[in-house]
Structure 1
Amino acid sequence: MREGSWPPSRGDSVRSGEDYVEALSERFARVGLWAFDHRWWVLAGCAALIAASLAGAVRVRVDNSFHAYFELDDPFYESYVDFRRDFGSDEVSYIVYEAPQAPYGIWTLDVMRRIAALEDRIVEEVPFVKEVTSPASVELLDPVPDGIRVYRVRDDFPTEQAELLEFRDKLLAKPLYRNGLVSPDGRYGALIVEMERSGADPPELLRVDPERGNAMDNLYPQASYKALERLLAQSGLSDIVFYHTGDVPLGAVVNEITANEASRLALICFAVVGLLLAVFLRRPVGVLGPLSVVLLAIVVTLGAVGWIGWSIDQMFDLMPVLLIAVGVADSVHVISEFRLYHTATGSRRQAVRETLRLVGTPCLLTSLTTAAGFASMSAAPIPAISHFGVYSAVGVLAAFVLTLTLLVVWLTVGRKRKRREASEAALLRARGGRAFQAMLAAITTFSVRHHRALVAATILVFAASAVGMTQLSVESNFLNEFGKSVPVRNTTVFVDGIMGGTLSFSYLIETGKPGAIKDPAVLREIERLQVEAERHGDVVRKTNSIVDFIKDINQTFHDGDPAYHVLPDSRDLVAQYLLLYEMSGGEDAEEWVSTDYSRARLEIRCRLTSSKLLESLIERLNDYLARQPMLHARPALTGMGALWLKLQEYIVDSQIRGFLLAFVAIAIMMCILLRSVKTGLLSMVPNLAPVFLTLGGMGLTGVPLDYVRLLVAPVAIGLAVDDTIHHMTRFRHEFRETGSYEEALRRSMADVGRALFITSTVLVAGFLVFAFSVMDNLGTLGVLLSTTIIMALVADYLIMPALVLTFRPFGPET
């Protein structure tokens, strides 16, 4: 729009009452006037909304368990629940320890006594503990004249150091316990704290005190983790070094981060965005208005989660920052236009009316398209992602409604001024100043002169990106999601290097016949699968099954001769061994078989490594079973590790589906908005280009997609289209005014170009706040989204004008 031609005439666009966009714009103008004239009603409504939202927010709890990621009727999840009916929870706290200052290390009498006392306190004081096993309490078998003796050190504690060292030598000679309870060199021991509960259990079973409800420190695993940490930190154990990892601490730390990160990152984002608004808009209202809108939108979103009855999980950490960055965009467009109209007319009321008439409809469409981008995730089979899509869409729409109401109330604040003709200097300042307008004019001139070359360059970008996208891989590593400053990550890496792995898979061996597990033919099939798993030592650290116990019993019956560490040939002999073992007080073997001996469990403990390596392991084991199937039993993969891999599969499928749904939904909206399939599809090109370029760049540089990075496509396309809508609708509006594509582009860029720059800068800065997260995957997501938004701004400045100038979708010039 030419300087000095303010306010703009409505021209044919208003006289044409048939244009539903213009009719909608008039309605938004009336909404603005109503909010302006009834500001106290608006504030009262906001107060009521805050009260209702806070009432819902107090009902929210944090849940990062598998219950948040699987539907209860999911077949794979149901098989895990079935597995737990016989074998209970497979979640543990794995506490490795050493005593470097003691003369005999962990085998020093005093150290062993204190570890035994610590076991007792863990059982007594830590909620949800089923059993604790350590070198002090593990079963050891000795041959006696009438059979075998099952004993534990703690039951008859040695009085002499030499006796304990003899016990050490016997324990280290047992394959059953090496790399599990003790390191092969005997330097490290382990407390294996088995839990009664699992992250797959419903919330009502995870409470320590039912009356305290869902307070985080009242729930598993948080309550168990905190109690364990308190016991390990007691002064009487200061000379023993503990390395605490496993399912319980990993789950608890994720919950803590989820609870703290959302508010911490939101505060940083508020500060950064507030600073940028102060720099660009230079008015208190320009800072306080947008921030109050997004703050209330966040409260509304949290309240909606509570009233629906959902929990918040790690996905929720994304929502406040996303909503701040996205919610401010509409406010920036409104305030930018308001300043121009107010400068020209001197009337706040008239400025509000004309502002919402001009930008109300584009803001509605940007909110709908962004909400559609988020809502597309609701089709995911994973509750956490599905819920994230829904409540994020609710937050975006709440921000839009508040922009039309609460922000208008802010715009009523200020001194009244007499109406006067706006000077060129005043209008120029409202548009960002002479230097900024000169830059926009230069960009426009470049687009006009080189629009065909820009279209050709766009085609090349898509081609190169397509090549890169073919090289994309999907891979995640739960451990690497934590930043290196998070202690549990470093502890887990250390423990994985010296002991058994911290991630477990289980094969449920089903025979369908009571007592069939005692059949040597069945046991040998379990054994050969166990041997095959141990061949993959790059991932597998240890395996456990009933086979290990039977082989140990057989060896004990033959005076500890290693040659007899094999399975017996007779079913009757197996049955006799197990009966004698139970009569002698043996209990540990019960964990590996069902009570009727129709089912057994084979545990495979692995390093907590990348999903790609774990998937490769499972594929190789399944290929082995396909080539050499079990003839006497049916193996089924289950356990927490298997659930995690299945979750990755679901996430990949849901995000690809979500991107396609978002693209289709947004493309349809654009076609409806612009009343032209050609124009609508053309407008999608500058939105797809940055997404394709980001994904293609990831493929070419070897950056894999994980369940967080997969959010880039559906989120980015929902955001990138916002500026395109403002630019395209204004471009179309100015074309109707002038009948010239070139002049329409110059006017559109002069008016909305600054707002596009501000909103993009705010989005980039907002997303870069994720770099302050202690979760590395969130930091990476922030960089990827910021890069995509920068490229989207370039596309709106260059590619979109070039496409319009080349294909002329608005019709012939007049």
Structure 2
Amino acid sequence: MLHRLAQFYQAMVIGRPRLTLAIILLLTVGLALGLPNFKLDASADSLTLEHDADLDYFREINKRYQSGDFLVVTYKPQDDLFSDASIATLKALRDELLAVEGVVGSNSMLDVPLLYSPRQTLTEIASAPRNLLTPGVDRALAKQEFLSSPIYRDMLLSPDGQTTALLLNLAVDNRFIELVRERDSLRLKRDTQGLTEAEAEELARVSQAFLDYRTAADTRARARVAQVRQIVDDYRDRAEIFLGGVTMITADMIDFIRSDLVVFGTGIVIFIIATLAFIFRQPRFVILPLMICILAVVMMLGYLSWVDWRLTVISSNFVALLLIISLAITIHLVVRYREFHAANPDWPQSRLVMETVRFMARPCLYTALTTMVAFASLVVSDIRPVIDFGWMMSIGLMVALALAFVVLPAGLMLLPKGEPRDRGDSSHVLTLRFSKFTEKHGNTVLVISLLAAMVSFYGASKLEVDNRFIDYFRKDTEIYQGLLAIDQRLGGTTTLDIILDADPELIEDLSSSFNGAGFGDVDDPFAEADPFDEPDPFERPEPLAQEDPFSETDPFSEKNPESPGARYWFTKAGLGELEQLHDYLESLPEVGKVQSLATAYKVGRDINGGQLNDFELALVRQKLPDEVKDVLLTPFLAESINQTRVSLRARETDPNLRRLELVDKIRRYAVDEVGLKSDQIHFTGMLVLYNNMLESLFRSQIVTLGGVFLGIMAMFMVLFRSATIALIAIIPNMLAAGVVLGGMGLAGVPLDMMTITIAAIAVGIGVDHAIHYLHRFRREFAELGDYLQCMHRAHASIGRAMFYTSVTIIVGFSILALSEFIPSIYFGLLTGLAMFAAIVGSLTLLPKLVLITQPFGREALADAAPT
């Protein structure tokens, strides 16, 4: 089989190079036709865990409470915020923003009802609700209300009174939620139980419907953000304005990804041209490798477009990585070809090319496979973009390897052999210094390696994953500045919802108590004075059911939804528990704005001049106008299932913020101090989803590295048939990965969705050096039978290719520092550091281990060594 394959390869690539290149060109054009359909994905869903039950619950809660996404516009005028001019400008800005498609309302100083400016009775609130635009409103009192009232404090006005926020409410996309939940439930069943044929067809249909719908929704969302930004820009000459919100961040992330693709691709192509021209100084060895790199990228991007496989912020590095790795494979082939040409100038071109292919096929295949193992190990992650990145790179590596062994040989066959140029290359002088240092100071190499391993282990033990989302962006970006303004001035950024279910036993007790006691056991709120200034309905001798004005909503009727048994969270007992939890949350330094029914309870008490009993609470609910209910009640009470919602925003910039600790701390307080049962409490929101993603990073890191080492060890066993060789080959690369992880821990750089991939990638790419070096060392040993001489010759030959590829990879990855996304910058620089550690280890520690273990046999038995 292999013999026939070799014959076919030689007949096509060597014998018919024009036809071969024409086929490659046609295939590339066919794939490139899909590029107009190429799409990017920066949605919040793309950064969540696979099969995350919390994500499904998050969507369910959003739909239940109709708490959709929102855009935040911070507004800090040049004049006093409460001046006529500033308020007029703010009103004009709000009115324009409300006209944007998809914006269904706004919360701002101009919209919310004023209850304390001055304090009003319930009758006044019900009959004539007021806001900041109502004629005659005392703006000084209104300002004090925004700063200190339990409703608006830390939400609409900064503590200095100069910055306010426009919260633009976006319509909840219920169709999106239905489609994604249906798709995810089928996916979960597929991965856990299996699907019937009909269910598999339904999954394919739903998945495509969701993709189509999300594409249209993303387009609308980006257009909305662009329109909002255009409106806001017209007001920047009168105020300092920042735009925030998940939708805005998603839109900007798309721009970041697109920019990174262009910048990385352009920068690396320029670098490739400069590098190849400097190393080889022959146009053919610039043009052919560059063709291979570009063809690999175009073919892969075309393929991704045809199958609608979208790049995310993580896989946006895909283009840069594929260019770099394609170049590394090609450089090894070029270096070996030039060595053969220099040593055998009389050979015909066909023999030079074919011998190069034969010599390099096995090591290049195994280096590609080991790198694929590294990237394929990422699929064990629970994070979908990381999984996709692993598969994309694995497929891309196969394409790059095939192109390198087809396009370069076929291209060389179309060109004259020319004069050998390798004789003037003196780069082996540098690599020989490493071999001489290893010969003279081998023990020093071992001691330094041991110390590096110990320091790396200590540093890795200090690795953290709890990082701040705001730190993902440069300080000069609007995302960073907007998040900072919202976080520090307007009550925090990351949402956490605490969902509380009523205790069924308490509900039953309350219902029984009211049904058995009758109205006589209820304190009469109107015994001394009527706080609502209305006739007492209970003074009538007739039963309430006959002429009672509240007969349709009798607060104590068994059938009435206002019954304390059916509405536990709006009783004095339920609100007392909520208020205790609410006040505790507000006392936490890492927590900003807290909103719950407890706010309504506080306001109701203020209006009533003291305490409220259950009957008064029911009456307050009936009397409150819709404008007030929409602020105080509706977002926090699911009436039909006796459930309430406490919403808070965490301060991302607080140095004490530890997400998991915060959730655990709240849960303990709710159970131990408030007296709630553990199964009554549920947590959701972006803080939970983001924390789940971070917590999975440690697990993924361990599983990924373990999978990489096992896979690579297995390949070394197949390639070299020696456990000793497999072990000594992996040690320098384990050390390189350890140096990076340890360095991150010591420098305080946390693991995130990008840096989690560094260690596996570093091992997968770094081990290529070990394969090439050991493969050449074994061949040299079969000829010379002397380990020291073989080491020097390996350094002078394959060591040069290793040096070239390492410099290419290190500098290539460093280009990622031009990104607008901080994790991409860390990824590029830290991967470059890992590759530097890998090449140093491969040129020092690896040969020293070979000299110690002598894995290719004793020198006296050199003649019998396998070839």
TM over 0.5: yes
- Give the 3 Å change call, closer, same or farther, for CA 211–712 of structure 1 in structure 2: closer
Mean alpha-carbon deviation: is it higher for 792-801 or for 444-453?
A: 444-453
- Give the 3 Å change call, closer, same or farther, for CA 697–238 of structure 1 in structure 2: closer
Answer yes or no: is the 8 Å Cα contact 2:567–2:639 preserved in 1: no
Give the TM-score normalised by the residue count of structure 2.
0.82
Question: Which secondary structure does the structure 2 equivalent of 1:140 belong to?
Answer: coil
Answer yes or no: is the 8 Å Cα contact 2:77–2:238 preserved in 1: yes
Q: Give 1:14's aligned residue.
A: none
Q: Which amino acid aligns with 1:187?
A: Q
Q: Does 1:130 align with 2:173?
A: no
Structure 2: which 5+ residue stretches go unaligned? 181-209, 508-565, 862-867
Tell me, in whole angstroms, the C-alpha distance in 2 between the residues paired with 1:719 and 1:635.
47
Tell me, in whole angstroms, the C-alpha distance in 2 between the residues paired with 1:240 and 1:739.
79
Tell me, in whole angstroms, the C-alpha distance in 1 between the residues paired with 2:3 and 2:327.
21
Answer yes or no: is the 8 Å Cα contact 2:72–2:167 preserved in 1: yes
Question: Which secondary structure does the structure 2 equivalent of 1:489 belong to?
Answer: helix
Tell me, in whole angstroms, the C-alpha distance in 1 between the residues paired with 2:269 and 2:447.
40
Mean alpha-carbon deviation: is it higher for 436-445 or for 370-379?
A: 436-445
Mean alpha-carbon deviation: is it higher for 184-193 or for 356-365?
A: 184-193
- Give the 3 Å change call, closer, same or farther, for CA 166–740 of structure 1 in structure 2: closer
Q: Does 1:541 align with 2:592?
A: yes
Structure 1: which 5+ residue stretches go unaligned? 1-22, 559-563
Tell me, in whole angstroms, the C-alpha distance in 2 between the residues paired with 1:312 and 1:576.
55
Q: Could you give the per-residue CA deviations for residues 667-693 of structure 1, whole angstroms, max 9, x where no partner exists?
A: 111111111122112211121121112
Answer yes or no: is the 8 Å Cα contact 2:667–2:681 preserved in 1: no
Equivalences for 1:407-556 in 2 at 5 Å? 407-417=408-418, 428-429=423-424, 432-433=425-426, 436-511=427-502, 514-537=566-589, 539-556=590-607
Tell me, in whole angstroms, the C-alpha distance in 2 between the residues paired with 1:785 and 1:742.
32
Q: Does 1:190 align with 2:162?
A: no
How much has 1:320 moved relative to structure 2?
Answer: 1.2
Answer yes or no: is the 8 Å Cα contact 2:125–2:625 preserved in 1: no
Tell me, in whole angstroms, the C-alpha distance in 2 between the residues paired with 1:202 and 1:314.
23
How much has 1:309 moved relative to structure 2?
Answer: 3.5
Tell me, in whole angstroms, the C-alpha distance in 2 between the residues paired with 1:282 and 1:199.
61
Answer yes or no: is the 8 Å Cα contact 1:32–1:356 preserved in 2: no
Query: Number of residues paired by the alignment?
Result: 764
Equivalences for 1:270-419 in 2 at 5 Å? 270-343=269-342, 344-346=344-346, 347-417=348-418
Q: Give 1:148's aligned residue.
A: 125
Question: Which secondary structure does the structure 2 equivalent of 1:631 belong to?
Answer: coil
Q: Could you give the per-residue CA deviations for residues 454-477 of structure 1, whole angstroms, max 9, x where no partner exists?
A: 334433332332233223233322
- Give the 3 Å change call, closer, same or farther, for CA 700–118 of structure 1 in structure 2: closer
Q: Could you give the per-residue CA deviations for residues 300-320 of structure 1, whole angstroms, max 9, x where no partner exists?
A: 322333344332210122111
Tell me, in whole angstroms, the C-alpha distance in 2 between the residues paired with 1:401 and 1:660.
28
Question: Which secondary structure does the structure 2 equivalent of 1:143 belong to?
Answer: coil
Question: Which secondary structure does the structure 1 equivalent of 2:37 belong to?
Answer: coil
Indicate which of 831, 851, 854 corresponds to 1:808: 854
Tell me, in whole angstroms, the C-alpha distance in 2 between the residues paired with 1:466 and 1:735.
35
- Give the 3 Å change call, closer, same or farther, for CA 675–261 of structure 1 in structure 2: same
How much has 1:91 moved relative to structure 2?
Answer: 2.7
Question: Which secondary structure does the structure 2 equivalent of 1:294 belong to?
Answer: helix
How much has 1:372 moved relative to structure 2?
Answer: 0.8
Q: Give 2:58's aligned residue.
A: 80
Tell me, in whole angstroms, the C-alpha distance in 2 between the residues paired with 1:775 and 1:613.
23
Tell me, in whole angstroms, the C-alpha distance in 2 between the residues paired with 1:399 and 1:202.
39
Question: Which secondary structure does the structure 2 equivalent of 1:703 belong to?
Answer: coil
Mean alpha-carbon deviation: is it higher for 306-315 or for 578-587?
A: 578-587
Q: Does 1:51 align with 2:42?
A: no
How much has 1:798 moved relative to structure 2?
Answer: 1.0
Tell me, in whole angstroms, the C-alpha distance in 1 between the residues paired with 2:211 and 2:840.
56
Q: Which amino acid aligns with 1:349?
A: S
Mean alpha-carbon deviation: is it higher for 56-65 or for 250-259?
A: 56-65
- Give the 3 Å change call, closer, same or farther, for CA 576–653 of structure 1 in structure 2: same
How much has 1:390 moved relative to structure 2?
Answer: 0.4
Tell me, in whole angstroms, the C-alpha distance in 1 between the residues paired with 2:583 and 2:232.
36
Tell me, in whole angstroms, the C-alpha distance in 1 between the residues paired with 2:837 and 2:628.
70
Answer yes or no: is the 8 Å Cα contact 2:378–2:704 preserved in 1: yes
Q: Which amino acid aligns with 1:42?
A: T
Q: Does 1:107 align with 2:82?
A: yes
Q: Give 1:561's aligned residue.
A: none
Q: Does 1:705 align with 2:679?
A: no
Q: Give 2:187's aligned residue.
A: none
Question: Which secondary structure does the structure 1 equivalent of 2:844 belong to?
Answer: helix
- Give the 3 Å change call, closer, same or farther, for CA 557–795 of structure 1 in structure 2: same
Q: Could you give the per-residue CA deviations for residues 254-291 of structure 1, whole angstroms, max 9, x where no partner exists?
A: 22212221222111111112211110111122222222
Mean alpha-carbon deviation: is it higher for 672-681 or for 705-714?
A: 705-714
Q: Give 2:833's aligned residue.
A: 787
Answer yes or no: is the 8 Å Cα contact 1:345–1:351 preserved in 2: no
Answer yes or no: is the 8 Å Cα contact 1:43–1:406 preserved in 2: yes
Q: Which amino acid aligns with 2:583?
A: V
How much has 1:78 moved relative to structure 2?
Answer: 1.5
Answer yes or no: is the 8 Å Cα contact 1:510–1:635 preserved in 2: yes
Tell me, in whole angstroms, the C-alpha distance in 1 between the residues paired with 2:627 and 2:34.
57
Answer yes or no: is the 8 Å Cα contact 1:520–1:570 preserved in 2: yes
Tell me, in whole angstroms, the C-alpha distance in 2 between the residues paired with 1:172 and 1:452.
69
Larger Rg: 2
Answer yes or no: is the 8 Å Cα contact 2:49–2:693 preserved in 1: no
- Give the 3 Å change call, closer, same or farther, for CA 407–223 of structure 1 in structure 2: same
Q: Does 1:731 align with 2:777?
A: yes
Q: Could you give the per-residue CA deviations for residues 74-122 of structure 1, whole angstroms, max 9, x where no partner exists?
A: 2111211221121124532221212223xxx232334334433433332
How much has 1:330 moved relative to structure 2?
Answer: 0.9
Q: Give 1:8's aligned residue.
A: none
Question: Which secondary structure does the structure 2 equivalent of 1:226 belong to?
Answer: helix
Q: Does 1:572 align with 2:547?
A: no
Q: Does 1:39 align with 2:7?
A: no
Answer yes or no: is the 8 Å Cα contact 1:473–1:704 preserved in 2: yes
Q: Could you give the per-residue CA deviations for residues 24-71 of structure 1, whole angstroms, max 9, x where no partner exists?
A: 799669735631322233223223332343344443422222322346
Mean alpha-carbon deviation: is it higher for 710-719 or for 88-97?
A: 88-97
Question: Which secondary structure does the structure 1 equivalent of 2:415 belong to?
Answer: coil
How much has 1:164 moved relative to structure 2?
Answer: 4.4
Tell me, in whole angstroms, the C-alpha distance in 2 between the residues paired with 1:252 and 1:726.
44
Give the TM-score normalised by the residue count of structure 1.
0.87
Tell me, in whole angstroms, the C-alpha distance in 1 between the residues paired with 2:418 and 2:255.
52
Tell me, in whole angstroms, the C-alpha distance in 2 between the residues paired with 1:29 and 1:716.
36
Equivalences for 1:716-755 in 2 at 5 Å? 716-755=762-801
Q: Give 2:669's aligned residue.
A: 624
Q: Give 1:234's aligned residue.
A: 234
- Give the 3 Å change call, closer, same or farther, for CA 268–29 of structure 1 in structure 2: farther
Q: Could you give the per-residue CA deviations for residues 553-574 of structure 1, whole angstroms, max 9, x where no partner exists?
A: 331233xxxxx4xxx5532222
Tell me, in whole angstroms, the C-alpha distance in 2 between the residues paired with 1:413 and 1:368.
29
Q: Does 1:596 align with 2:640?
A: yes
Mean alpha-carbon deviation: is it higher for 711-720 or for 402-411?
A: 402-411
- Give the 3 Å change call, closer, same or farther, for CA 219–508 of structure 1 in structure 2: farther
How much has 1:356 moved relative to structure 2?
Answer: 0.8
Q: Which amino acid aligns with 2:222?
A: Q
- Give the 3 Å change call, closer, same or farther, for CA 522–322 of structure 1 in structure 2: same
Q: Could you give the per-residue CA deviations for residues 120-165 of structure 1, whole angstroms, max 9, x where no partner exists?
A: 33232233x23211111102235348463375656x94456x6544
Q: Which amino acid aligns with 2:423?
A: L
- Give the 3 Å change call, closer, same or farther, for CA 263–200 of structure 1 in structure 2: farther
Mean alpha-carbon deviation: is it higher for 441-450 or for 641-650?
A: 441-450
Tell me, in whole angstroms, the C-alpha distance in 1 between the residues paired with 2:77 and 2:446.
69
Tell me, in whole angstroms, the C-alpha distance in 2 between the residues paired with 1:203 and 1:247.
20
Tell me, in whole angstroms, the C-alpha distance in 2 between the residues paired with 1:439 and 1:172.
68
Tell me, in whole angstroms, the C-alpha distance in 1 between the residues paired with 2:627 and 2:608.
13
Answer yes or no: is the 8 Å Cα contact 1:32–1:352 preserved in 2: no
Tell me, in whole angstroms, the C-alpha distance in 1 between the residues paired with 2:171 and 2:656.
27
Q: Does 1:181 align with 2:156?
A: yes
Question: Which secondary structure does the structure 1 equivalent of 2:751 belong to?
Answer: coil
Answer yes or no: is the 8 Å Cα contact 2:261–2:319 preserved in 1: yes
